[in-house]
Every structure is written in structure tokens, then in C-alpha cells.
A and B are shown apart, each in its own frame.
Chain A
Amino acid sequence: MKIPFNEDLRPDTGLYNAKLGIWLFLASEVMLFGGLFSAYIMLRLSDPNWANYGQSALNVPLATLNTAILITSSITMVMSWVSLKLNDIKKYSFYMGLTLLCSFGFLIIKYFEYSAKFEHGLYPSTNNFLAIYFTITGLHGLHIIGGIFVNGYFFGPGKKMWSSEPQRFTNRIEVAGLYWHFVDLVWIFVFPTLYLL
């Protein structure tokens, strides 16, 4: 038995199954982070002491660096997909490797940021700004780790599929890429709302 439109496009919708699936998943992710951000707004507006909660303790230069790293990783992710479209598996591996490198770089910088907070005795329980900071960035970090697992699989053992089903493998990278851009996009919202505003 073969599931229809697993890799080819359905004519009237113009989609293959996994692409619609990932868009629906991303829609639910929008609602998840939407819930988190609206909670942030509600807590901030209803708390007169919010200004004293030490947003200044956050390290803006490091976060800016992380923003740049994530945007770069999004670009390399697209490049790896394009390389597959151009039938160049070597270049694919190169760009996918760069993407993974960027993701690890992001996590390492995040680790330094977190440990600096802990050293100064700033914990999630300290106040509600730090609580929301750790919750949102922590959840975003989990999404990065999830992305590393997926991309790492396609960088390593998952690559075998290229020789047997190239079209399906290309689709997989496209879908993984959509997820990765979403994780990137979330950070682009996190950075100004938590660090700058």
C-alpha cells in the first residue's frame, strides 16, 4: 500500500502531505508561543513593580550575537535545501554542517548567559520577569535542541535516503527547514520583547 501524495504534489492543493502537516504543526506552535507572550503582556501590565525586576541584568550584546548566529543558520539551512535541488549532496552536507555548528554556538552562548544569571543569584523564582525570561528562552532552547536532533539525523544516518529516494529526501529537508525558520523567527520575537522593550 502506498499513501498518495507522500512525495508528489496533489494537483488541486499544490502540496505534498508533510508540507501541509508541518504548516499545521507550526500553526499550533504559534498558538503555544502566543500563549506565552500574551501571559507575559498580562503579567507585565498588571504588576506595578515590573520596572524593578532587573531586565538590565540581561546581556544584550551576547543576545545580539545569538540573533546573528540564528539568522545565519537559517540562511545555511536554505542553502542546504537549494544544494539538494541542484543535485549537489556534497554542498548539502557542508551547509547542513554549518547549520548544526550555528545551533550549537547558540546553545553555548545561551549556557554562558544562564550561568551568569545563576552566579548572581538570579533564578526563575526571584521575580516574574526572570520567571518568564527563563520559561520562554528555556522553551525556545528546547526547540533548538529538537531541531539539532532532526538536522543531525539528516546530516548523519538520514542522508542514506538521498541515494534511494532523492525527491523524498529533498522534501524532508524542506520540511525540517520550515521548522528551523520558525524557531529562528520565535527568537526574533523573543529578543526585542525580553531584552530590549
Chain B
Amino acid sequence: MSNTHHKESFWTKYIFSQDHKIIGIQYGITSLLFLFFGFSLMMIMRWQLAYPNTPIPIVGFMFENGILSPDMYNSFGAMHGTIMIFLGVVPIVVGAFGNYLVPLQIGAPDMAFPKLNMASYWSYFVGGIVMLTGFFLPGGAANSGWTSYPPLSIIATTGQTVWLFGMVFLITSSLLGSINIIVTIVQLRVPGLTWMKLPFFIWAQLVTSFLLVLAFPPLEAAAIFQLMDRLAFTSFFMPSGLIVGGAATDWNGGGSPILWQHLFWFLAHPEVYVLILPALGVVGEVIANNTRKPLWGYKSLVYSVIFLGFMSFIVWAHHMFLTGMGQTMSMFFAVTTMIISVPSVVILSCLFISLWGGSIRFNTPMLFALSFLPMFGIGGLTGLPLGLPLSDIHLHDTYYVISHFHYVVAPGTIFAIFAGIYYWFPKITGKKLNEVLGKVHFIFSLIFMNGIFFPMLIQGLAGVSRRLADGGQSYAHAQSVIHFNEFMSMSAWLLGLAQLPFIINLILTIMKKKDKVPDPNPWNATTLEWACPSPPVAHGNFVKEPIVYRGPYEYSVPGHKSDFTPQSEKSGDK
């Protein structure tokens, strides 16, 4: 590797970079843009829900008669889900946080395979672009929901084919990325960093990566089948005797639409844990740092995460209680679902107990992390009735489900993402984000998130179905709860407005002049990423390879001079 000291051009340094830090930032910027785009789709959809069939203000010129037609509504809904999950949240928690922080927290100079890392980002980027081209096709983007259930998805317009090709790129990207993360964690830990001295965030990333490696390929198989069904007219997912619009279809039939659901949810349930585990990791780091005491029950946390990862592979059919797969199957999956809630509760309890007796610093990252706990709690607890076949029959496919998983992902994972951005921003740039703007961002985000998702629980219990383009207006049983629609839409737009302080904060802080030598450890943290300069040295991170002498969370050790003892500090150094 003698070619590392020559001067890099702009292209190799910032665009086709092989430095994990640059790639992490690339992932971060791209996925934040996708998150905002996916949210914008929803802000438009919420107009249609609040004021059905009235012209949309501001952006109405982009639509026929200024109205979001039901077909477009379906398409926006499908793309909102796809973009938020596969192009927004997963790339930011695994691609951005994983890439940037995993090598730093284990003291490595880079990821194990820098070239693969670059390939993984560009594969993600291409996949995203392919997905977006769907909007410009006749018939619009994919419109069969993010779940793409056949036979609907197979007789759908071309947008679905593009969706499937986009998926193949995204699957390839996360496959390469997660293999890279696992190898990095297993192989590149610095001397002294044994398994039980790893920060909790690293454990979360490790388990997440295993989920990605093992759960995505069955979806790839399913995507190949669906492509075959759409392009070569096979009948993997097409039942016999299907009549569409009064006419028989071109397919011979004999296949099984349920097969898709099995293959899809075999991915998509572990995917839920891909969304939440890294978020738990981030929250763990922020909480330990800002309570100034060790995480309570570190080992229980680690074993719970591993158990959670394992169990997540055998709960998938709880999404399918209404397919008539039979009582035995339903019972099995109901039981495994109840079992998987145990480690989730253990993790949440450990994080809560960690607060006990701490001298808590209420800075912006900590506020986001603290509010993550009850929000994720609501998300988790509302999931229990969905895991039992009896109550699921009533709640299935209603707004209750939407509320449940949004509580997990939106004020859950996305709040953890914000916590992470505020917490590690000084490491990336050498400058802290503004606290006042941060707190404004936090408080309004918290209020409006709940303004959107809490009324959904009520609507769902009343039986309002999801995916209705008019928000339930044409249904008698929805009339008593339909007035919430306007309130929720207002909350959604205000939530969009509440992101302005965040964006302004990012821009202002980046423009601000840097200190001559930025404080490498502004939060007085113990883990290894704070032992290198801020920002870390390009290609290599650490000035001198650190050696680890202690566990990750040695805060307030009695008898020690300061209230934190970095992992790389030899005893009696200070």
C-alpha cells in the first residue's frame, strides 16, 4: 500500500472515496435527503387525507387538476414506505453511523474492505436513482404498497419492475456493507478490546449486520420470482383462475400469492430489527455518556440483542395471521412473538434503570435519547395486540398498525438518529451544533410526532383501514373519528416546519469557523472514537494506534480524578 501518500484529486477524495469517514458522510447526506423526500411525499398525501379531492396548495401544479388522484395516492404510499425504510433509515443507521463509527470505536484505521465499501455506497446510490425513475414512467412509480403483494403487484404498471430492479441494487449494497462491518468488528479490534469491552453500539451493529446478511437474500429470491412473473409470465405467485377486470389473464396459474408473503416477511421482520437495533445502540451510548455512569446491565443488553437477532428470524408470519395459514402456524408464531418481546423489554428496562441515580446532563442528544425510551415503549407495547391472532383480526391493516410501527421507527429510530447526529457531529466536524436551535428542534418534533401518530391509534381501534385514498370518508364506521385527519395533517406539516431549525443549525455550524485545535472529546466520553482528533485523520483515523485497558463505560469511577476514564487510559495515567 505504498500509494497512500500521493496527493488525492477531488474525485478520489470526495466522490469515489475509499475512506470510511467520507463514505459515511456520503451515506449520511444521501439518506437524509431521501428521508426528507419520503416525508414530503407523505406531507402531500396528508393533504388528500385531510381535504379529499380539493386542489393541493403550493405543489398542486405538479398534479392533474391539482389533485392527488387515488392511483397517485397509492403510488406515493408505496414509495413513501420504500424510500423511508430502504433509502432513508437503513442507510443512515447502518451506512452512515456504522461506516463512520464502527472503525473509530474499535480503534481500526478503516473498514476491512475499503473498495467494497465504496462499491456498497454507489450501489445504494444507483438503487435510489433507479427507484426514483419510477416517478417518470407512464403509470407512475410502484403502487402496490411497500410490501408489493401479488397478484396486484404482478399486474401493476412498469413502475413495479423498476422497483424490483432498484431493490436488487439496494440488497447488493446492504449485503456488501454488512459483510464489511462484520469482518471489521471481528478482525480489526485493537489489542485489548475483547468482546465484553466492546461499546454497546458495536454489538448492535454486529447483530444488525448479521440480520442483513441472512435475511435479505430470501427477498432477493422473491424479487427474482416476481421479476420472472412480470417479465417471463411464469406463475410463481399467480393463482389459478385469476380474473382481472372481467377477463382471464395471460398467466397459467398454479402458483401461490402467499409464497411471496412468506419470503417477503422473512426479510421484512428482521428488517424491523435492522431499523431499531442500531438506534438502541446510539441511545445506549448517549445515555451512558450523559448520565455519567455505566450502562446498567451491559451483559444483559448484549445477550438480549443477540437473542433478539436470533428470534427475529422465526416470528415473520405474525404479519400473516389473516391469510388462513391455519391455527397451528398462527399459534407457533404468536408464541415466538411473545417470546421476542422479552429481550426487547429487558433492553428498554436496562436503559431506563441506567438513568437511576445519574447526574443527568440535559443536552440535545440526551433529550432525543430520553424521549426515545417512552416513544419506543409505546411502539413496542402497541405491538403486543398485533402479535396475538385474536386481537390482530380486528386490528390488522388498520391505522393502528400504522401508528404502531411509526412509533417504533419515527419518534423511535429517527429520534435516535437525531440524538446520534447531535452527539457525533463534533467528532465529524470539530464543531458542536447549537444547543438552543437543537432544543427548539427537539421539543416541536416531539409534540408534532405524537400529534400525528397518537390519533391514529384511536382511528385504528375504530376500524379505519390503511391505504384509503380519502382517509375513510366513504365508510360509515369511520365517521366518528374522521375529524382527526385534519389535526394529524396539520401536525405533519408542522413537523416538517419543525425540521427547519435543524437544517439551519447544520448549515450555520458548518459555516462557522473552527477552533485552531478542536477539542477531541467535548462530551468527556470514554469510548475510543473520542481518542482520535476531531475530525479523525484522513486514511488512518488515529495518530497512534490505541490500546484498550478497560470497559467502555467507566464513568465516575471512585477515586479517579475526573468523572470519566477513557478506554485507552492505562490505570494511574492521570
- A residues contacting B by CB (< 8 A) are 1-5, 10, 13, 15-18, 20-21, 24-25, 27-29, 31-36, 39, 42-43, 46-47, 49, 123-128, 131-132, 134-135, 139
Contact = CB atoms under 8 A, between A and B. Distances in A.
B255 A43 contact: yes
Given A1-B539, A5-B188, A28 B114 contact: no
B457 interface: no
A1 B540 contact: yes
Given A35-B217, A128-B234, A2 B1 contact: yes
Given A31-B213, A131-B232, A135-B225, 15 more contacts: A2-B109, A4-B187, A10-B187, A15-B187, A34-B218, A35-B217, A36-B224, A124-B232, A125-B235, A127-B235, A127-B252, A128-B252, A131-B234, A131-B235, A135-B224
A64 to B, nearest CB: 27
Interface in B1-20: 1, 4
B218 A35 contact: yes
B112 interface: yes
Most chain B beta-carbon neighbours within 10 Å: one of A1, A29, A125: A1
Contacts of A3: 1, 109-110, 112, 114, 188
A46 B256 contact: yes
A39 B219 CA distance: 12
B233 A31 contact: no
B255 A13 contact: no
Contacts of B114: 3
A21 B228 contact: no
Most chain A beta-carbon neighbours within 10 Å: one of B110, B216, B236, B540: B236
A33 to B, nearest CB: 8
A32 B221 contact: yes
Given A17-B113, A135-B228, A32 B235 contact: no
Contacts of A47: 254
Nearest to B4: A1
Contacts of B109: 1-4
A135 B4 contact: no
Given A42-B256, A128-B255, A20 B236 contact: no
A124 B234 contact: yes
B179 interface: yes
Contacts of B322: none
B179 A32 contact: no
Given A3-B112, A20-B187, A125 B256 contact: no
A122 B356 CA distance: 70
A31 to B, nearest CB: 4
Interface of A is mostly: helix
B403 to A, nearest CB: 31
B182 interface: yes
Interface string B288-313: 00000000000000000000000000
B182 A24 contact: yes
Contact of B182 (A20, A42, A135): A20
Contacts of B220: 32, 35
A25 B172 CA distance: 11
Contacts of B215: 31
Contacts of A132: 236
A150 to B, nearest CB: 14
B215 to A, nearest CB: 8
Contact of A25 (B112, B179, B222, B228): B179
Contacts of B1: 1-3
Most chain A beta-carbon neighbours within 10 Å: one of B110, B180, B224: B224
B259 interface: yes
A17 B228 contact: no
A42 B259 contact: yes
Contact of A39 (B112, B186, B259): B259
B214 interface: yes
Interface in B249-269: 251-252, 254-256, 259, 262-263, 266
Contact of A13 (B186, B224, B251, B259): B186
- In order of increasing CB-CB distance, the 6 nearest A-B pairs are A35-B221, A35-B218, A32-B217, A131-B234, A31-B217, A125-B233
Most chain A beta-carbon neighbours within 10 Å: one of B217, B232, B252: B217
A21 B233 contact: no
A20 B186 contact: yes
B183 A20 contact: yes
Contacts of B216: 28, 31
B4 to A, nearest CB: 5
B57 to A, nearest CB: 46
Interface string B156-190: 00000000000000000001000110110011100
A49 B109 CA distance: 59
A24 B233 CA distance: 34
Nearest to A39: B259
A28 B219 CA distance: 11
Given A17-B183, A21-B112, A139 B224 contact: yes
Contacts of B409: none
A131 to B, nearest CB: 4
Contacts of A32: 217-218, 220-221
A39 B254 CA distance: 13
B108 interface: yes
Nearest to B190: A4
A43 B237 CA distance: 9
A21 B179 CA distance: 6
